[in-house]
Structures are given as C-alpha cells and as structure tokens.
A and B are shown apart, each in its own frame.
Chain A
Amino acid sequence: MTTAIKDASQDRQKTMIAEHFGKLSRAKEDGRKVVYTFVPGNLTELLLNFDLLPVLPEINALQSGMRGKTGDYIQLAEKSGHSEDVCTYVKADIGMLKSGNIGPTGEKLPDPDLLLLSYTGCFTFLKWFELLREEYDCPVVMLHVPYQGDGKITGEMRDYVVGQIRDVLIPELEKLSGKKFDEDRLREDLKRSAKAEDDLVWVLESAKHKPSPIDAYFGGVYYIGPIFTSFRGTEDAVDYYQLLRGEIEERLAQGLGPITPDGVMEEEKYRIVVEGPPNWTSFREFWKMFHSEGAVVVASSYTKVGGLYDRGFRHDPDDPIGTLADYSMGCYTNLNLPDRIDLLEKYITDYDADGFLINSVKSCNSFSAGQLLILRELEKRTGRAGGFIESDLVDPRYFSAANIKNRLESYFQMIEAKRTKG
C-alpha cells in the first residue's frame, strides 16, 4: 500500500486537534472549566465567550472507532447493562469512560463541569447525558431545540430558543465560569465563523466540477472537522479553511481528482450522493470500496449535521443570539423527512450525480428511520440509480465487508448498465 498523501491542511488540522486535547488534559491544573456537548446545533462560539473548553462525545466515539478501540468499549458498556440495540456512539463513550477516558491523543480527558445538552433531532442525546450525569454527578443544562416538523422555523420557535439561550443558558455559563457574557466578543467570533463557513461552502461545492477535486463524504468528514467541533469562531478555523480552499483551488486548476489514502483518484467513473453517516471502524476499507471502483461522493447529508451552510445560512454577527438559535434549528438532523428528500434531490441534480446511496446505520434511529421511503421517493423523482447498504457507526461487528463490497459493486455495475442502455 502506498503511504497516505497528506496535505498541509490535514497537518494543520492535526496540530489544532492535538493542541485542543493538550488544553483539555491540562484543564484542571490551568483552572479551566470543561463542557461536554453535542455536534448538531452546538454553541461553540458561546462557550468560547466564557473561555470554556468543549468536549464532543460523538467525536470521541468516532475517533475511537477509527483507532480500533470501540469493539472493546462497546463490549464493556454491554457488560454493564446497555442493550445491543443502543446507539453505539453512546456505548463507545460509556466504554471509553470506564476504560480511563483516554482521548485520541493518548491523554486523559477531563471530567465535565457541565453537560450542555443542545438537543437537536436525536432523542438519544437526552438519554446519553442522563447516563453521563449519573457517571460524573455534574449539572446538565438543556437547550431544547424544536424539531422542524412542518419544514420551517417559525417566529415562535426562534423566540423560544433565543429565550432559553438568553435567560437560562447564558446565566448558567456565567455562573460556571465566573465571567460576564461579552456580546462584542461574540460578534467578533461570529464574524470569523461566517468567514470560515464561506470557505467551507466553496470547498464542498467544488464537487460540482467534473472531475470533482474532492470526495465530499470520505474527504468531507475531515473538512467539516474544525467547523463542526471546537474551532468555529476561532482564528485557527479561519486559517484552516483558507488553507484548505487554496489547496482545492490548486487541484481544480490542475484538473485533479480527490486524494484518497491510496493516492490521487485517477478516473471519476461514478458521481454519487450519499445519505447517512459513514462507518468508522473500517473507514479506509469502506472508502476503498468506492475509490477503487472510480466512485466519488459529490455530496452527502452527513457533512451537514453540523450546519446546512450550502443552503445559505451564515452565522450573523449583527444578531448574535438569534443566529445561534437559527443555527441550532437548521442542522440536517433537525429536518423533517420531506425536507431531507428535497435536499437530497437537489444535491443529485445540482451535482449531476449518477445515483444516490444510503448507508443505513443499524443503531442510529435518528438517521435511519424513513430511509427506505427516501430511497423510493428519490428513485421516483430523479430516475437515477438508488442503492442501499447497511453498516454501523462504531460497532465493528456490524461491518460485514464482503456483503457491503458485494452490494456496492452491484450498485456501481447497475449504474453502468443503465448508462450503456443510454
């Protein structure tokens, strides 16, 4: 196997992550408070405002998955009574906690001083933090984010979330940090957020070119890393996305395809839109099943769980609290089924995809419920090839490589057969 080609942006991101985990490992001695929170609808800029350090358990779980740790973690969680059907992110997190809470850089993660439950479209989040509250015996603040059941954000919904942030959340964070809320600082941070968001959207939309210079799913999960996690609103994030955009501009100018762990993808044979999160335990193997067949993912819904910036949303420094509310309610996981279908249909058309593929995750009801309906409806609307595979987030027992490869090859050949028929 060839060595993975690393871009400067990738190295940059690695350094940023290492620095963040370094800060976390020293949090107690440095006297900094730690807040555990979730990715969809996260309020990173607000946490920065109080110099709080965020920890994102989903990210820990997926990184543990990529490092081959989650098989043991999940078994440990199951041993302590968590059923086989429970979300494997939750079980990986519980197992990690019970194994000493060692993060991806090998340093111990600090216990939380607060659990900020920004509930967005996933009921499991509630239960997850109930479990962590028991384990850590620490306070929980809940930001209740109304679901977009009717496919829109109403004025009442917005007022409701703004009210919670202003009247409940900010006072709690002030109490925890001993610092006053600084609205001017928030405006500055949000300006930086919007700047990084512009560059991210440019990068993701570069996949509209043929050949696409990026893979918007397997590569995309790296690109969304900083902005979906602890770095939105920071200078680091702005720099990272500028650097990344510059690299992609360069690839585009040269007419190059995406970089894969096995080198540059030579020929773009299939352009695919993917719905659903990837499998993390066999991430490279899973990716290879695509790139070795010449399949590139040109758009994906998973890279929108932390914000649908390509639909025009930007953090707005002129309305700092309102914009946080809009952001929380606008994530992909908070959309209703018809909206998800519309979005995917638009991706298929806008990115001129040959087909769309659903990776249905066994333990994620939030994503998986309704996916067959999505599949049928998209087939009907677009007439393009729909495919369906099943795996899991971080439970290695549910990644059956032979089965998945078999289905993917059949799926790509189905596209080819449709095409030949003309």
Chain B
Amino acid sequence: MECYIGIDLGSTTTKAVILDAEGRIVGRGITNSRSNYDVAAQVAKQEAYTNARFEMLSRILRDETGVDKEERESLESHLTAAYAHECFLGQLSRLEQHCRTDLDNPRFDDDRRELLQSVEVIMQGIREHAHRNFQPSATARSDFFRDIAGAAFIDVAAEISRGGGPAFDKLVGMFDRNIIPVENEQETRSFSELLTAAYGRLPDGLRSSVAGLPDTLKAVADTPMEEVRTVGTGYGRVRLPFPKDCIRSEILCHGLGAHLMFPATATVLDIGGQDTKAIQVDAQGVVTSFQMNDRCAAGCGRYLGYIADEMNIGLHELGPLAMASKRRVKINSTCTVFAGAEFRDRLAAGQEREDIVNGLHRAIILRAMSLLARSGGIKNEFTFTGGVAKNPAAVRALREVGEENYGELILNIAPDSIYTGAVGAGTFAMRDVAAGVGANQEAA
C-alpha cells in the first residue's frame, strides 16, 4: 500500500496521519512532544502505522471472517489494549534499566541499596497499576507513558517514603532524570513481535474465537506499507526534523485540513497548546488571510492545562465540569498566571467551581474572537480544530460568542479535529508527489 504521511509537531502533542493513494485517512498516531522532536515525529508515525494495521485487521475481521459484531469488538479491544500494554512494559523496563544505571553514580554510595530496593518496589507497583490500566474497559487520564508511569511512580514513591524509606524528593528525582532518555528512545521490537506478544496476553477464549487468527495477524503484520512522501508541519518549525522542501507552514496545513474535512469551510479557528490561529480559506482550501497570537500564550490550550493543574484535576475533566455551570461568572484576567490567582480568589469568595471554570472557558474564547476579528471575522462555514475543540465547554462558549457577534453559524468540529494539521500536511505530500515537486526523500 502506498502511504503519504503528514506529521504535525505541536507544542504539546505530535500528530501523524497516513493517507492511502486515494487520500483516505488509514492511520492516526499521537504522542507527547518531547525534547527530541525527531523522536516525537518517529513515535507519532509508528503509532499511525500501528493504528493503520489495526484498522486493516478490523476490516478483515468484519469482511472476511463472519464473526459476530460483539465478539469481533471484544477481540479487537482486548488486542489493542494488550498491544498498548506490551509497549508500555517495554518502556517501563527501559525506565527501570536507566534508573538502575543512574544509581551507579558515586553520589548514591550511601543509600544505593535502599534506593535499588525502592526501584524494585516502584516498578512492581507500576506493573500492577498497568495491569489494571490496560484492561479494555479502563479509562485513562492520558495515553502517554510519561503520564501513566509518572502518576503510578509518584503514588508508590509516596507510600515508600511514608513507610520510612528514602525521601520522596529523592525517589521522584529518579523519575525526572530517567524519563527523558526513555522518551527519546524508540521501541525496538517490530509490529509483528509486539502483536505476537499481545496475542499471547489474550484470554484463551478470545484466542480461539476466530479460526486461523494467528495467520490473519501475520497477514496484517506482513502487508507492505510503502512510505512515498512525508510532509511535516508544526510550531517549533525552526528545528523540524524534515527536509526543507518537505515542510509546510501549519497555517496552510490547518487551512487545507479543515477544507478537506468540511469542504464548505470559510473560516478556521485552531486552538492548540501554545498558539491560536484564525485562518480564512477560499473554496479550494487555500489560505487567504491569517492571524496568530503573538508573544503570549494566554487563551491557548496551556491556559486550560494550567487551570486543571491548579485544581488538581485532569485536563479532560475540565470541560465536563464547566458544562455543569448554572451561573455566568466573568473572568477578567487574560493572563494565564493571573487567571490562576483569580480562580483562587473567586473560590475564596464562595463562587462555585463549575461557574468559575466556565468563565475561564469563555475568557479564552473571547481572546480567540479578537484574533478572528483581526483575520477578517467569522464566515460560514466555521470549522474549529485543535486539542481545545475536544472540550465541550469551549465549544459551547465559541458557539455562543460567535453567534452573538456574527449571527447564526454552521460550526464544524470533526472527531478527528486534532489531526487537521496532519491531514493537510499529508495531502500536501500527495500533491507534491503528483506534481513532481520536491525531493523524494526518506523522511525523518
């Protein structure tokens, strides 16, 4: 299968999509952006390949095996969870190895034995946690190793310290030092090896639920996927790990991506981790005007992340909490840091958490409105993309404020909205090849 790849290296997450020769999305991958952009791009791409092969498996099971829907879905969800579990354990064993090597340093001469014992206990704790976490029914706060392993690490470390073991700071310091090399290394096992291992983790009943399942899995793993061209985009583009002629501005990628998802798109709003983009596109998805936030990231995804941290809840919990709001609270601060202070002040003044959080959502949308106005306003249809488009309270506020200012709106949000930039990039890759533009290089 011919594959065209688009990678969107965002400030918070890196997204990759694989398009087939007809431009259909066949795989999606996402990972946290890390200190090494090259690895982040590789990991996202590998995730997208994995996803594409699982999609392939899903099609075969549906079209060629005659297994009923419920059983098929159960098999798929177990296999997906087991695969993720395998990947997690691979990273965990590398983390353990790094922690142990780290302790060879002479500065740990006095308490090495104790620390090594703690590492053992912590790793065991994380493994047990993972066993629960990677059940098909489990819902996780995050899909990223750093977050899952980090949370479990901290829990076990706190327990060890409370029980008279090494100091909490010392234990957590181990995680902070060693997570970086782990994140900057890649999985060495092939898809086929990981899939075989995941198969081994399936309950017996599921393993035999489909006749010839091992052969099907092998066929999926062996299907050739030929990478024709990769185009990359993203915020930190000064250092993007792609050849120059394989890079497109994220403005163009988001504009085109939004057009492909909703062909009648005229205005695009993208709210990502650190930047907000207001883009106007023509009927072919070509950008005609754009504005971005400058110098200050208030009003971007990080603003919400900061507030979630202040409240000690997950980012995904913020939107649903705000949806419960009954009373409008006006937040005055447009600065992230001041908004944190304002949040605490208002809590102290007796206002409800959900009302304040809802006010914060409205505040970031108001900032976006100013950018939209500068770019030429909102025209129908209006497509909202980026991580914040997944937040129901932000969407509600955008619709309200948008309609107050521009009248009735057709507001589009794709389930794949986080991949908008990557889809645009992948499509540029296809178009470049078709037009014979750019070097046919093996991308990063």
A residues with CB within 8 A of B = 372, 376, 379, 385-386, 388, 390, 398, 400, 402-403, 405-407, 409-410, 413-414, 417-418, 421
A136 to B417, CA, bound (A): 62
Q: Are B237 and A406 in contact (CB under 8 A)?
A: yes
- B4 interfacial by beta-carbon distance below 8 Å: no
Question: Whose C-beta in chain A lies nearest to the C-beta of B239?
Answer: A402
- Interface segment, one of B128-136, B288-296, B404-412: B288-296
A410 to B235, CA, bound (A): 11
A409 to B267, CA, bound (A): 20
Q: Number of A-B pairs whose CB atoms are under 8 Å?
A: 51
- B356 interfacial by beta-carbon distance below 8 Å: no
Q: Are B294 and A409 in contact (CB under 8 A)?
A: no
User: Secondary structure at chain B's binding surface: helix, strand, loop or mixed?
Assistant: mixed
A261 to B376, CA, bound (A): 36
Q: Name 26 A/B residue pairs within 8 A (Cβ), A-sorted.
A: A372-B374, A379-B289, A379-B376, A385-B288, A390-B295, A400-B295, A403-B292, A405-B238, A406-B237, A409-B237, A410-B249, A410-B250, A410-B251, A410-B252, A410-B287, A410-B290, A413-B249, A413-B252, A414-B286, A414-B287, A414-B290, A417-B252, A417-B286, A417-B287, A421-B284, A421-B286
List chain A residues, Cβ under 8 A from B251.
Answer: 410, 413-414
Q: Are A386 and B237 in contact (CB under 8 A)?
A: no
Q: Out of B249, B252, B289, B295, which one reaches A386, CB within 8 Å?
A: B289
- In the complex, what's the smallest C-beta–C-beta distance from A288 to chain B, in angstroms? 13
Q: Are A414 and B238 in contact (CB under 8 A)?
A: no
Q: Are B250 and A418 in contact (CB under 8 A)?
A: no
A418 to B250, CA, bound (A): 16
- In the complex, what's the smallest C-beta–C-beta distance from B68 to chain A, in angstroms? 48
Q: Are B294 and A403 in contact (CB under 8 A)?
A: yes
Q: Are B294 and A400 in contact (CB under 8 A)?
A: yes
List chain A residues, Cβ under 8 A from B237.
Answer: 406, 409
Question: Interface size for chain B: under 10, 10 to 19, 20 to 34, or 35 or more residues?
Answer: 20 to 34
List chain B residues, Cβ under 8 A from A403.
Answer: 292, 294-295
A414 to B249, CA, bound (A): 9
List chain A residues, Cβ under 8 A from B295.
Answer: 390, 398, 400, 403
Mask of B295-312 contacts with A, CB within 8 angstroms, 1/0: 100000000000000000
Q: Are B284 and A376 in contact (CB under 8 A)?
A: no
4 A-B pairs with the lowest CB-CB distances in the bound complex, closest first: A410-B249, A410-B251, A414-B287, A413-B249
Q: Which of B237-260 contact A (CB under 8 A)?
A: 237-238, 248-252
Question: Whose C-beta in chain B lies nearest to the C-beta of A419?
Answer: B286
Known: A379-B289, A388-B291, A402-B238. Is A409-B284 also a contact (CB below 8 A)? no
- In the complex, what's the smallest C-beta–C-beta distance from B131 to chain A, in angstroms? 43
A234 to B429, CA, bound (A): 58
List chain B residues, Cβ under 8 A from A386.
Answer: 289
Question: Whose C-beta in chain A lies nearest to the C-beta of B249?
Answer: A410
List chain A residues, Cβ under 8 A from B376.
Answer: 376, 379
Q: Which of B213-240 contact A (CB under 8 A)?
A: 235-238
A410 to B253, CA, bound (A): 10
- In the complex, what's the smallest C-beta–C-beta distance from A41 to chain B, in angstroms? 32
- In the complex, what's the smallest C-beta–C-beta distance from B254 to chain A, in angstroms? 10
Q: Are B289 and A418 in contact (CB under 8 A)?
A: no
- In the complex, what's the smallest C-beta–C-beta distance from A236 to chain B, in angstroms? 42
A183 to B396, CA, bound (A): 73
A143 to B74, CA, bound (A): 85
- In the complex, what's the smallest C-beta–C-beta distance from B257 to chain A, in angstroms? 13
List chain B residues, Cβ under 8 A from A372.
Answer: 374
Question: Whose C-beta in chain B lies nearest to the C-beta of A412?
Answer: B249
